[in-house]
């Protein structure tokens, strides 16, 4: 009786065997006996043929118990499982660094041996990895083989495409273990983590000052070298706005600028739906909802939600007033504040309301005014539910509930809940009367008092008695 054959695997691959197991004439090794019925490739062992057959059938019998991902080979599964276990069995004998794959170790070892076997036929530059060479060669050819399916933008590297696609998907796979904040790119996470650790790995070779960001170090080093790499010249700003002719040195900056003309606002706040024309603006806005204040003062520990606000605050400690008004000599710690102040002298009001044509000297005043037309009051008191058009008004209101009066008069010690209230009070001591009547040059220390006085000249009587209809100017 013949021995019963083993049942065949459930795989769709058909195994073809030769009749003889003897070596072929002139050969010292047995002939390959197992042939793939799909492509004709031959194998010495049945197991090798079965593994090969999975290429044609697409079968993936090996499953990861952690995430359910499937693989066609057990070896591939083992490599994948190291992602979950964190196992790194391959280590470098030179520096001790560990890796989860032997291939990664081999690539790393070329750092120590300085071996660069791959070179560019165009410029002769050498590389330690073939992938780096391929990426480099695309600079010469201009090839961008990776396309975004959402917007059609092309990239030279697959990694750059993956990073870009997260803009559309909103995916943020990298998160901070300290505060839980998520990021779309690993480098952004690393930069963020230094805020918690206080690590400053970049230091100046001239004065020894340390920085947490390499960009901050480069900016600092220019103080020593006197280098000024950014020049305002038409040739260095190749991108020009078709609407107003403004030049930009970067295509992205031009696109952001053009949104001023088109009114396009592609970025919206996930909390309140407010739209913005710049990604940075929406991030700064969202901190209003989250309460995040990532910028810390190294002098007093006070926290801020914007970097610019922190820089302005630091001048309080240094006492520095670098910018001075040429008209009255008043000093300012911020260039923007000086420019706003100078409009008092020039009378310039560059911000116009599209609804009523009213003009303002400051952009913030225009925004506050526009809310009169829209009726928008996005800032709500958590205590009584009262709504306000401006965040500053809400803060001032909240002090009523808290009983907080942080502004003190240096003359008499009287306390106030608002900075404006304190300034108005201080005029009692100084005798300052900044509001002048254009009819009779009489001066007042309060704006309300001036308006009330002007009604003497105009004859305006805006207050009416509901009983008899008589009008009064007060």
- Tell me: pLDDT of 381 over 60: yes
For 33-169, list the strands marked E by DSSP: 34-36, 42-43, 62-63, 70-71, 90-91, 98-99, 118-119, 126-127, 146-147, 154-155
List, for residues 153-203, the tens digit of each pLDDT value.
888 888 888 888 888 888 888 888 888 888 888 888 888 888 888 888 888
pLDDT digits (tens, 9 = 90+) for 417-445: 888 888 889 888 998 888 889 889 889 88
Please give the Cα distance from 146 to 159 (Å, whole number).
Answer: 9
Give the residue from 280, 274, 246 showing the smallest Cα distance to 260.
246
Q: Is the pLDDT of residue 126 over 90?
A: no
| Helix or strand (DSSP H, E) at 276 | strand 275-276
Distances 368 to 269, 287, 340, 364, 422 between C-alpha atoms, Å: 20, 20, 16, 6, 22
Name the average pLDDT for the chain: 82
Q: How far apart are CA 191 and CA 197, in angstroms?
A: 10
pLDDT digits (tens, 9 = 90+) for 392-402: 888 889 888 98
pLDDT computed for residue 196 by the predictor: 84
Residues 250-305 pLDDT 10s: 788 888 888 888 888 888 888 888 888 888 888 888 888 888 888 888 888 888 88
pTM of structure: 0.30
Give residue 8's pLDDT. 39
Per this entry, what is the length of the chain?
474
What pLDDT score does 10 carry? 43
């Amino acid at each position: 009786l013949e021995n019963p054959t083993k049942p065949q695997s459930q795989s769709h691959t058909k195994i073809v065997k030769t009749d003889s197991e003897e070596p072929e004439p002139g050969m010292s090794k047995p002939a390959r006996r197992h042939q793939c019925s799909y492509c004709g490739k031959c194998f010495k062992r049945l197991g090798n043929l079965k593994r090969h057959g999975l290429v044609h059938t697409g079968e993936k019998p090996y499953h990861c118990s952690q995430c359910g991902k499937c693989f066609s080979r057990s070896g591939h599964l083992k490599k994948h499982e190291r992602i979950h276990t964190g196992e790194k069995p391959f280590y470098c004998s030179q520096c001790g660094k560990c890796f989860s794959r032997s291939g990664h170790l081999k690539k790393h070892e070329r750092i120590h041996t300085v071996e660069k076997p791959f070179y560019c036929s165009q410029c002769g530059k050498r590389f330690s990895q073939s992938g780096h060479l391929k990426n480099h060669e695309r600079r010469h050819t201009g090839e961008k083989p990776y396309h975004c399916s959402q917007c059609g933008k092309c990239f030279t590297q697959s990694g750059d495409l993956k990073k870009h696609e997260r803009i559309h998907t909103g995916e943020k796979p990298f998160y901070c273990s300290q505060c839980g904040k998520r990021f779309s790119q690993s480098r952004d996470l690393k930069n963020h983590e230094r805020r918690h650790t206080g690590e400053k790995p970049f230091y100046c070779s001239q004065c020894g000052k340390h920085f947490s960001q390499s960009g901050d170090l480069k900016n600092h080093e220019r103080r020593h070298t006197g280098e000024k790499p950014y020049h305002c010249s038409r040739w260095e700003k190749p991108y020009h706005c078709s609407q107003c002719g403004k030049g930009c040195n970067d295509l992205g900056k031009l696109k952001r600028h053009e949104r001023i003309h088109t009114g396009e606002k592609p970025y919206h706040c996930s909390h309140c739906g407010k739209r913005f024309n710049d990604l940075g603006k929406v991030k700064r806005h969202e901190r209003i909802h989250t309460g995040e204040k990532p910028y810390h003062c190294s002098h007093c520990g006070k926290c801020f939600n914007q970097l610019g606000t922190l820089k302005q605050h630091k001048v309080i400690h240094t006492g520095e007033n670098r910018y001075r008004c040429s008209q009255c000599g008043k000093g300012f710690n911020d260039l923007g504040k000086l420019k706003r102040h100078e409009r008092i002298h020039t009378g310039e009001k560059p911000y116009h309301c599209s609804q009523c044509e009213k003009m303002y000297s400051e952009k913030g005043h225009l925004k506050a005014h526009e809310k009169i037309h829209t009726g928008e009051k996005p800032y709500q008191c958590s205590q009584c539910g009262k709504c306000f058009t401006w965040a500053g008004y809400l803060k001032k209101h909240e002090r009523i509930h808290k009983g907080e009066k942080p502004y003190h008069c240096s003359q008499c010690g009287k306390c106030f809940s608002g900075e404006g209230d304190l300034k108005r009070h201080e005029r009692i001591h100084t005798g300052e009367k900044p509001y002048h009547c254009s009819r009779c040059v009489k001066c007042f220390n309060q704006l309300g008092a001036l308006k009330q006085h002007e009604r003497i000249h105009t004859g305006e009587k805006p207050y009416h008695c509901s009983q008899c209809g008589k009008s009064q100017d007060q």
